[in-house]
Amino acid sequence: MLKAIIIEDNRKSAELLQEYIKNLFCDVSIAGIAKTVDEAADIIFKEKPNLVFLDINLQEESGFDILKRTNPDDYEVIVTTAYSEHSLQAIKNSAIDYILKPYDTEDLKKAVAKARKQIGLKHSSRIVDAAEHGKLDDRIYVSTLDGLIFLKMDDIVCIEADSSYSEFHLFNGSKVVTSKRLSIYEEQLKNHLFIRVHKSYLINLKHIARYQRGRGGYLEMSNGMIIKVGESKKEELLKHLIG
């Protein structure tokens, strides 16, 4: 859901834009309407919107002054103006788009679509940052062609190297493929009971069902996979298994 505010000193224009938004977008809620820079700053700090419809000419003030009073990284800006020459100024002030008055519904739809996409990207980026800083201790994110997938570490049986790709084998039998190398996940998971037992395998110690001795030996995993243990990895593995 997008939380938006309208900054517009003309009451009829503000009401018209609010009506358009209500009728066109089921995922956009209007948290407030401001007429001045002071009112706008107060609403932004209080409501924390992720989308702002910003009129440039606010009586004796400039709508862009609001960007100096708040943190524009926290929200996307769609400039609303009656003057096309303000388009360059809008771009310079990092607006996602601008729409001219009188409002055209197609222009409004395109502008909101751009904002929605950018807000989604920011949200994903924040989740990734949280994961990388250890705030998602029980999960790991995997980047795939379709986007980010978050996996519970306890569900991962092992990760198999396939050239420059890595394949996650999960306890439920499903697989997830990513273009990152196995060494990257080895570093990320080294403190979560994952160890490298072969040049091609990083395994979850919790999912070992059986160890068969040999030169290096073999592991039978909880999902039925049989994984060869590299000779140079045997000693480290046994330390984890028998202390």
Task: Specify the residue for token string 């003030």.
Answer: 61
End-to-end distance of the chain based on CA atoms, in angstroms?
Answer: 51
CB atoms within 10 A of CB 45: 12
Which tens digits make up the pLDDT trace of 216-229?
Answer: 899 999 999 999 99
pLDDT in tens, 4-56: 999 999 999 999 999 999 999 999 999 999 999 999 999 999 999 999 999 98
The span from the CA of 44 to the CA of 63, in Å, is: 13
- For residue 211, pLDDT beyond 60: yes
Does the structure show a pLDDT above 50 at 86? yes
pLDDT at 134 over 50: no
Question: All domains of the chain, ordered by start, with CATH?
Answer: 2-132 (3.40.50.2300), 139-242 (2.40.50.1020)
pLDDT at res. 133: 52
What is the SS3 assignment for 224? coil
Considering the chain, what percentage of its residues have pLDDT values greater than 70? 89
Instruction: Give the closest residue to 54 by CA, choosing from 3, 86, 6.
Output: 6
Question: β-strand 208-212 against 218-221: which pairing, if any?
Answer: antiparallel
d(CA 218, CA 236): 14
Question: Tokens standing for 230?
Answer: 């590299």
Higher-confidence position of 159 and 143: 159
Helices (H), 104-207: 105-132, 182-189
pTM: 0.54
What integer pLDDT is reported at residue 53 of this predicted model?
Answer: 96
70-84, 135-149, 166-180: which has the highest mean pLDDT? 166-180
